[in-house]
Every structure is written in structure tokens, then in C-alpha cells.
């Protein structure tokens, strides 16, 4: 199984489907077997969808026979449980929605379905996606395939664990404050947050609305690009002018806002950045003006939570501690604070945009630490006290607030755990950013070594 089709990149998989040496139905069955093997340990899935997967796989097989397969025909994909799949539950990680069955596909799911993807299951999320770790009251926390005693991150933690564990080829995630990039970093994957506003999920769940994008979790950049082309089919994210022929100007910021970074992680990412320079790009160490995002992000996220879900405070269902605190904080928000945050948002985006006058790409660590133990967020990093909310992962959300595309890719390992770097590009330069990420991926050559061992229960 470890060398089987579930570990193959998309291109190899679809070539085998085309020449008839492999059947999408076979692979769909392999995916369900793998889910049954790994999920009692990892808790990546809210539910598997074997019946749906078989029907979609049979349709993909017919499409290959007829010569009209979609770009993801027969490719196993997991769907984050913040997206609607018609006829299947969308829990949003909450007891309040544990029995809710979707009456329609939301927009991102609809595009994947049209592309021929095979949906293997719905993946676990924190309650209403309000945490960077995947824990809720529906069941156990989602664990990391590299070490099940550690977190997979969140809020797309189930999606990341599903791909990293080899239950599927691609995972559909969403990123409102790092929710694709954080679990991608912790689980040794590529994760893309597209330019804000270029990937829509019509008719879907609403949270983090000023900041969120749907996007892919994948094992390689080429697979992420292929899924992104389906999610943003109108070419919206390809219309910007490329940075220009020849070397790119890379702004390397090893500790944005002066935040502490685990020394081992810092060394690995710095070494990976050197590969950009070895590849001919101009890398300069810089200090970026990124401060002020928390004063925008926090009030606007809480304001939406209060508006959409404040009624749950007096409802019959238990809430997670973090969601209850969020809703109580939302109820105490001063309207002037919300107005100031909305006013500051455009100014912040323009300020970060100015960083791209002198640079084509920004490079940072993806997180401040490797994956930590389940339920034990670090209190100190590199000998300095950090806040519980953002201490381990402060480098993603600034670019949700600014709206720029950002991709995370594996940079190496610390103590057997994957760590990652983040590349950020100009608005609508998503494909140019992915091209640079693919160059770096080739130079680092980590893919053969980035597969976790088969998970075993935590003793």
C-alpha cells in the first residue's frame, strides 16, 4: 500500500487511468480500506463516503472509456467538513449541526464534482473552524500522521491528515487565518491560500468572510496547481503580469514582527531559503512592516461569529470552550472597534502591497514550531513566552488580512517532524508563486522522504 496508487501524484494516476492499467473504482476501494486502517488512530474523517465514492469512480471510469475525462477524473479527494456535499452531513465541527444533511453542493465542491473528482469522505474541523488545532466535542482530536501524539493543526487538520496518511491524493481545505497552511506545514504537505476573492464557495458555510479562500492540500506543487486550476477555473488568479523574466527578488524575513521561532525550525528554513539563491534568485534579508493585523482580524472575525452564531449561547447544545469564549467576546465588542477594523483593512492591504515594490516574493517560516503535543500549545518558544492564540503559528494570518496568495511547502524535518516555509506573492500572481515553489521543491528534493510511517496508536 505504501507504494500504491494512493501515493502517486495526480499526473501518474490519470495516465494509468487513460491507458487502462488502473481503474478509478479500484483506487476508490483502496481509499476506503486505507481510511479504515488509519482513522481509528488519526480521526481525520467525520465520515467516509464509500457509496458516493464508488458512484463517482464508476462515472470517471466511463469518462475515460468515452475519451472525455475531467481534469481530476478518478482522483481521490477529501472534503473539509466546512463545505457542503449534497446528501451528506455538514457538522461544522459542532454538536449544533451534528445531524445537518446538505441539500446541495457548495461552490467549491460543485467544481470538483464537475472535474470528475472522487469524494472519499468529509474531514474533521474545529467547531466552526475557530481554532488552529482540530478539536471539537464530536470526537477525538485529529492527530498528526508523523506522530499521532501531536496535532495535525487546523482548521483544515482533518484534510491535511487525510492526505498525509495516504487515504486520498488531494484535500479540499479553506484558509481564513492559516487554516490550510498551518496543517500543511505540520503534516509535510503543500498548501495554497489563493488570492482573496478568486475562489468562491457559493452557497457554503460563512466565517472569516473578509479573509477566507478555499484551496488545495497536496503532496507536491504540481498537484496543488492542478486542483487550484479547477477551483479557480476562470483564470482569475492568472491575469497578473509575471514579475519579469530572470531572477526574482526574494524578501527573506526569518522572524516577522520579531516573533520567536524554534531554533531547529529556523535553521532548516534558512537552509531552504539558500536554495532560492542557489537557483539564481536574489535573496535579501528584510524586516517587513506587518504589524497591526491582529487589531483588524480579531474584531472582524468575532463580529461575524456574533452575528451568525451568537444565538447558540442560549441554545440547547454544548459549545467548545474556545467557541463559547469567542461568542461572549463578540457580544462585548464595541461597534466603534468594528468600524475602525473595517476602515483599517484597506490601509493594511495597501501597506503590505508596498512591500512588493522592491520585492517579487516574500519568504518566511510557515509556523514558529513543529507540530506540538495534542492539547498542549507551547507557552514558550526559543526561551520567550508566547500567547496561546497565535504563539505557534503567527506568520499566516497577516496575509489573510492583506489578501495576498501564499503557499507553504516542506523545507525539512526537526526531530522527525516536518517543518515548512511560506512564500507570498503579489495579488493574483498565484500561478507565478506556484512556479517558484515548484523550483524550490525540486532543489530540496524532499518528496521521497516526506511520507509518514503507518500510524500506530499512542500508548
Active site residues: 80, 155, 179
Residue holding cell 486520498? 168
Query: Which letter, b or e, does each residue of 50-82 get, where b requires 16 or more Cβ atoms within 10 Å of its Cβ?
Result: bebbbebbbbbbebbeeeebbbbbbbbbbbbbb
For every residue of 88-140, DSSP letters joined together read: SB--TT-GGGTT-B-SS--HHHHHHHHTT-EEEEEE--SGGG-SSS---SSSS
SS3 179: coil
Cα 75 from Cα 95, distance rounded (Å)? 31
Going across the sheet that includes 249-252, the strands are 45-48, 118-123, 76-80, 170-175, 213-218, 190-193, 406-414, 417-424, 361-365, 249-252, 282-285
Asked if 28 and 49 touch (Cβ cutoff 8 Å), the reply is no
Cα 388 from Cα 123, distance rounded (Å)? 25
Cα 117 from Cα 363, distance rounded (Å)? 32
Distance between the two ends of the chain, CA-based, in angstroms? 25
Cα 408 from Cα 185, distance rounded (Å)? 7
| Neighbouring C-alpha atoms within 13 Å toward the C-beta of 61 | 15
Amino acid at each position: 500500500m505504501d507504494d500504491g496508487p494512493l501515493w502517486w501524484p495526480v499526473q501518474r494516476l490519470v495516465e494509468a487511468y487513460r491507458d487502462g492499467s488502473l481503474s478509478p473504482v479500484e483506487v476508490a476501494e483502496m481509499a476506503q480500506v486505507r481510511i479504515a486502517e488509519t482513522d481509528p488512530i488519526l480521526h481525520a474523517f467525520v465520515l467516509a463516503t464509500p457509496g458516493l465514492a464508488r458512484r463517482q469512480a464508476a462515472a470517471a471510469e466511463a469518462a475515460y472509456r468515452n475519451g472525455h475525462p475531467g481534469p481530476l477524473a478518478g482522483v481521490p479527494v477529501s472534503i473539509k467538513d466546512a463545505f457542503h456535499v449534497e446528501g451528506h452531513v455538514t457538522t461544522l465541527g459542532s454538536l449544533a449541526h451534528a445531524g445537518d444533511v446538505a441539500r446541495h453542493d457548495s461552490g467549491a465542491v460543485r467544481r470538483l464534482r464537475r472535474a470528475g473528482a472522487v469524494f472519499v469522505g468529509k474531514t474533521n474541523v474545529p467547531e466552526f473552524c475557530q481554532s488552529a488545532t482540530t478539536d471539537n466535542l464530536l470526537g477525538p482530536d485529529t492527530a498528526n500522521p508523523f506522530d499521532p501524539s501531536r496535532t495535525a493543526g487546523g482548521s483544515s487538520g482533518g484534510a491535511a491528515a487525510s492526505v498525509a496518511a495516504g487515504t486520498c491524493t488531494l484535500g479540499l481545505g479553506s484558509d481564513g487565518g492559516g487554516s490550510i497552511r498551518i496543517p500543511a506545514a505540520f503534516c509535510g504537505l503543500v498548501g495554497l491560500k489563493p488570492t482573496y476573492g478568486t475562489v468562491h464557495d457559493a452557497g457554503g458555510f460563512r466565517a472569516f468572510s473578509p479573509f477566507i479562500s478555499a484551496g488545495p492540500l497536496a503532496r507536491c506543487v504540481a498537484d496543488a496547481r492542478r486542483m487550484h486550476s479547477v477551483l479557480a477555473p476562470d483564470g482569475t488568479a492568472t491575469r497578473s503580469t509575471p514579475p519579469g523574466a530572470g531572477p526574482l527578488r526574494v524578501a527573506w524575513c526569518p522572524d516577522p514582527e520579531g516573533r520567536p521561532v524554534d531554533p531547529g525550525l529556523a535553521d532548516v528554513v534558512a537552509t531552504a531559503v539558500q536554495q532560492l539563491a542557489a537557483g539564481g534568485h536574489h535573496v535579501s534579508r528584510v524586516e517587513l512592516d506587518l504589524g497591526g493585523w491582529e487589531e483588524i482580524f480579531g474584531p472582524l472575525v468575532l463580529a461575524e461569529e456574533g452575528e451568525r452564531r451568537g444565538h447558540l449561547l442560549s441554545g440547547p447544545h454544548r459549545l467548545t470552550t474556545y467557541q463559547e469564549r469567542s461568542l461572549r467576546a463578540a457580544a462585548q465588542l464595541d461597534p466603534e472597534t468594528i468600524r475602525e477594523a473595517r476602515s483599517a483593512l484597506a490601509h493594511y492591504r495597501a501597506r503590505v502591497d508596498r512591500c512588493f515594490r522592491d520585492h517579487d516574493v516574500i519568504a518566511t517560516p510557515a509556523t514558529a514550531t513543529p507540530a506540538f503535543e495534542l492539547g498542549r500549545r507551547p507557552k514558550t518558544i526559543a526561551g520567550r513566552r508566547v500567547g496561546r492564540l497565535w504563539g505557534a503559528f503567527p506568520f499566516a494570518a497577516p496575509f489573510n488580512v492583506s489578501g495576498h496568495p501564499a503557499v507553504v511547502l516542506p523545507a525539512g524535518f526537526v526531530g522527525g517532524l516536518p517543518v515548512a516555509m511560506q512564500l507570498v506573492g503579489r495579488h493574483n500572481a498565484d500561478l507565478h508563486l506556484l512556479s517558484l515553489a515548484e523550483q524550490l521543491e525540486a532543489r530540496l528534493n524532499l518528496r521521497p522522504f516526506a511520507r509518514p510511517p503507518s500510524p500506530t496508536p499512542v500508548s
